[in-house]
């Protein structure tokens, strides 16, 4: 970032946003974008105090562009990080619809759910019983369930929404389940099936699958074979094996882009495609 601009200089810049000269306008936009995110609160104040709808629209677009730039930056950092933490990745995606959302708030909401499960949990129990406890707390006590009514709503891909409404799609419900299970130290991972995202419990001695979209239903490898046969899809190793966090983030972004397409928000779908390219690199 260059030197900080004074309030007066910023005011002067913003007032040029609705200049009739297109070149001046472009120059001003570039200048404001180059200042980075610290300029957002100032722009928001200008928006509130402006009675000029044209200027307000310019400011909205600028703020959105700054927020997208920040998201891209965060996604690049996340992609380059060693641990590629799942909740951090999901938080970055959530800031697309909720730019003000702080990681700490999302983390606190997740902690609360983890705590509810942990208080009922007994680590001495056999694996199936542990899963029954998680299922009971998440799907009976806390009432998490499949959002079948608004399946294609973009909010279904936002873990913030899922934690608030207790409704989600297969991947967002699996993400909540996975975050809880991993914190409990269980060998549970995501599995990337066609049209469905599920989980697997995979230890040296034991392996089975869990469908979080169907209240944590436990199923077998044979069930996956049957499912693929039903879809007329040839089985591939990755349909049975644990996937990495990066695949969960990619799939969430793909779902999000698809959701925007379904509701006709093509600009948003395109923006999300660009975000997806970052984690597909």
Task: Encode pLDDT of 14-23 as tens digits.
Answer: 877 777 788 8
pLDDT score of 103 more than 80: yes
pLDDT category of residue 49 using cuts at 50, 70 and 90: confident
Q: Which pLDDT belongs to residue 227?
A: 95
> In 206-265, which residue ranges form alpha helices assigned H by DSSP?
221-230, 245-262
Q: Which pLDDT belongs to residue 35?
A: 83
What's the pTM value of the predicted model, to 2 decimals? 0.89
Task: Encode pLDDT of 155-205 as tens digits.
Answer: 889 999 999 999 999 999 999 999 999 999 999 999 999 999 999 999 999
Reduced DSSP (H G I as helix, E B as strand, rest coil) percent helix, strand, coil of the chain, to 5: 65, 10, 25
pLDDT score of 1 more than 50: no
Task: Encode pLDDT of 196-217 as tens digits.
Answer: 999 999 999 999 999 999 999 9
- Please tell me the number of Cα atoms within 13 Å of 266 on its side-chain side: 0
pLDDT category of residue 3 using cuts at 50, 70 and 90: low
Which of residues 231 and 7 earns the better pLDDT score? 231
Region of poorest pLDDT, from 12-26, 48-62, 105-119, 185-199? 12-26
Q: List the beta strands (DSSP E) in 88-206.
A: 145-146, 167-168, 188-193, 196-202
Q: What is the mean pLDDT of residues 88-95?
A: 97
Query: Which of 5-14, 63-72, 209-218 has maximum average pLDDT?
Result: 209-218
């Amino acid at each position: 970032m260059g030197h900080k601009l004074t309030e007066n200089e910023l005011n002067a810049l913003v007032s040029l946003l609705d200049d009739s000269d297109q070149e001046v306008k472009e120059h001003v936009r570039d200048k404001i974008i180059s200042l980075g995110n610290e300029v957002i609160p100032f722009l928001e104040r200008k928006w509130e105090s402006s009675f000029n709808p044209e200027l307000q629209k310019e400011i909205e677009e600028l703020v959105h562009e700054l927020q997208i730039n920040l998201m891209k930056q965060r996604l690049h950092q996340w992609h380059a990080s060693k641990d590629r933490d799942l909740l951090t990745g999901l938080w970055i995606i959530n800031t697309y619809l909720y730019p003000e959302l702080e990681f700490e708030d999302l983390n606190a909401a997740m902690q609360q759910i983890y705590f509810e499960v942990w208080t009922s949990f007994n680590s001495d129990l056999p694996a199936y019983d542990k899963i029954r406890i998680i299922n009971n707390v998440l799907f009976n006590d806390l009432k998490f369930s499949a959002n079948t009514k608004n399946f294609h709503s973009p909010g279904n891909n936002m873990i913030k929404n899922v934690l608030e409404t207790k409704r989600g799609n297969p991947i967002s419900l699996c993400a909540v389940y996975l975050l809880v299970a991993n914190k409990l130290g269980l060998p549970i991972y995501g599995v990337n099936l066609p049209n469905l995202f599920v989980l697997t419990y995979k230890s040296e001695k034991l392996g089975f699958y869990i469908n979080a979209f169907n209240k944590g239903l436990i199923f077998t490898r044979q069930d996956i074979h049957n499912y693929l046969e039903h879809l007329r899809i040839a089985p591939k190793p990755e349909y049975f094996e644990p996937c990495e966090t990066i695949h969960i983030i990619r799939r969430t972004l793909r779902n999000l882009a698809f959701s925007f397409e379904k509701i006709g928000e093509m600009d948003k779908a395109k923006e999300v495609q660009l975000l997806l390219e970052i984690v597909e690199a």
